[in-house]
Structure 1
Amino acid sequence: MNTGQSGRESILLVDGMALMFRAYYASAATGYIRRTKAGLPTNAVYGFMRYFWDAVQKFSPSHIACCWDLGSKTFRTEQFAAYKGNRSEAPDELIPQFSIIRDVMESLGIPNISSPGYEADDCIGTLAARFSPEMEVLILTGDHDMLQLVNERTSVIIMKKGHGNYMVYTPETLMEEKQLVPRQIIDLKGLMGDTSDNYPGVRGIGEKTALKLVQEHGSVEGILANLDALSKSVRTKIENDLDMLHLSRRLAEIRCDVELACGVDECRFVMNAAAVASKFEELEMSSIVSWMGLAATP
């Protein structure tokens, strides 16, 4: 496992938050929460590993890093107090599993990356910018906001419904599917807002109108320079919400300049099979040991 699909070295940047929530809710929906004999919930850890390992098998990265949020207070909540304010607390059964999966990643020799005041997205954006000059970057997530990071050396792998089902976005596939270049994703979110992150954009402008405006005028600046060409209703909405348009665009933009102590060498994926098998046996997940092809510890 040392080169990506193009034959060069590649790094898989894992959106730990996206995989963890997806894994938890996919299994919790059945009504059964997997637990150890001592009662520790492990359903999200198990599901995370299934998603993660499938992607590793499929994309064969030579390097891997996993990025995490650290808490709800970030530079975005300082700019807009209601940012993500609509999110409910993580379920009680999920909370202890965040530290367990970080331990699992450590046993795999994979660095866990996070930074106070920033989100996992910003850590991913920073590492993508840092490593793309020397290797292919693959971002594993379910978050379409990440499409703004796509470029000739960075692909975003969006996890679709079901295991092993992905849409890989490159500049070509993004243009083909959405008729947008990556930077325009930020302009789109500035106009339409984001209900899951709880910022409004321009009130009264939905995805369809936002998409049409960005495609026709190229960017928010292009739209503002051509307000006279817009319908009276759309123009009025934009003029009434200019401050929120600019703020929403700032909130939507992933930072790529976070100070992170993470070098390429520590991300090289070299697994100690015995350490990993031992970790999963401790978590009473011997089935993972077998489908990862690891020898059980004596």
Structure 2
Amino acid sequence: MSQTSSGSVLLVDGMALLFRGFYATSSGGYIMRTNSGTPINAVYGFLKYMLDAIQTFKPSHVVCCWDMGSKTFRTEKFEAYKANRGEAPEELIPQFDLVKEVTASFNIPNVGVFGYEADDCIGTLARSYSSQTKVQILTGDHDMLQLVDENTEVIIMKKGHSNYMVYTLETLMEEKSLTPPQIIDLKGLTGDTADNYPGVKGIGEKTATKLLVEYQTIDGILENLAALPKGVRAKIEAELDMLHLSRDLATIRLDAPVACALEDCEWAMERDKVISKFEELEFKGLMRLIG
């Protein structure tokens, strides 16, 4: 493990935290607003999650990555990709820009690029940082497990406050019996209902994992089709094109056109700047979190 820095960089999946924050704070139907009527509940929830993770994992550097609209290279390859998702709730829409202003008030870079998803930005930055320092990815999205390596951990937020599962190569193997590249092939076989691509109809996670443990990769499975149970073989043969397409859609790109120098994302909060933003948004309850 070649490291030139003893710190760590926390890559935050901004949308995952923002949506989680929105639904966690609006489940009773009440939406927090400023006196002028601006909805702020999602930003409030986002900050609680982000600041708790920073306090828990104590990174030396922090970057926040965002989706930039729904049109990406994946929707060009497969029109139905994420087409099952409705419009964002009306109260959430003004908070998309607001949350970036708040993040910027902490001197945290906001990173995103049109045509790619936040996942691709996170994957690309993780790859570029991991030779210099330890990388931790904060998300709720299990797709990110494909990014785990010797120097990169994926922190999955679980239900409840301060409840995290930290995936390393060891814990991933213990829990799922799979390596990070096999997570991609797993998605190729099973598809992803959240992202609306089907994989191979009729193959669930249990069968897919068993096949991958035995044959290592989708290519290995295809080379051994004759050895598979007749039913499984028939399902795969009927869906070969979709299998390859689903694997491609599941692959997080590590070469997105994004860059953010490590020295530009040092965690260096200027308290006065943050307080001024918090006062503007009437975040009295969050003041104690910034010390």
TM-score range, shorter chain: over 0.9
Partners of 2:172 and 2:178 within 8 A in 1:
yes
Please report how far the alpha carbon of residue 208 of structure 1 lies from its aligned counterpart in structure 2 after TM superposition: 1.4
Matches of 1:62 and 1:77, distance apart in 2:
36
Matched, 1:238 2:236: yes
SS of the aligned residue for 2:15 comes to helix
Instruction: List aligned pairs for 1:105-120, cutoff 5 A.
Output: 105-120=103-118
- Which residue, out of 45, 59, 71, partners 1:47? 45
Q: Identity of counterpart residues, as a percentage?
A: 64
* Partner deviation per Cα, 1:253-277 (whole Å, 9 max, x = no partner): 0001011131111111111100000
Matches of 2:89 and 2:121, distance apart in 1:
25
Matches of 2:11 and 2:141, distance apart in 1:
13
- Which AA in structure 1 matches 2:120? D
- Which AA in structure 1 matches 2:237? E
Matches of 1:147 and 1:88, distance apart in 2:
26
Instruction: List aligned pairs for 1:89-168, cutoff 5 A.
Output: 89-168=87-166
Matched, 1:18 2:47: no
- Which AA in structure 1 matches 2:244? H
- The match for 2:200 is 202
- Which AA in structure 1 matches 2:189? L
Matched, 1:278 2:276: yes
Matches of 2:259 and 2:27, distance apart in 1:
38
- The match for 1:218 is 216
- Which AA in structure 1 matches 2:280? E
Matches of 1:125 and 1:177, distance apart in 2:
22
Matches of 2:83 and 2:22, distance apart in 1:
21
Gaps of 5+ in 2: none
Matched, 1:81 2:61: no
- The match for 2:69 is 71
Cα RMSD (Å) of the superposition? 0.8
- Which AA in structure 1 matches 2:203? I
Matches of 2:285 and 2:131, distance apart in 1:
39
- Which AA in structure 2 matches 1:136? K
- Which AA in structure 1 matches 2:35? K
Greater than 6 Å deviation, 4+ residue runs = none
Matches of 1:107 and 1:23, distance apart in 2:
19
TM-score in terms of structure 1 length: 0.95
Length, aligned pairs only: 287
- Which AA in structure 2 matches 1:103? E
SS of the aligned residue for 1:95 comes to coil
Matches of 2:213 and 2:83, distance apart in 1:
31
* Partner deviation per Cα, 1:82-114 (whole Å, 9 max, x = no partner): 000000111000011111110001000000000
Partners of 2:34 and 2:281 within 8 A in 1:
yes
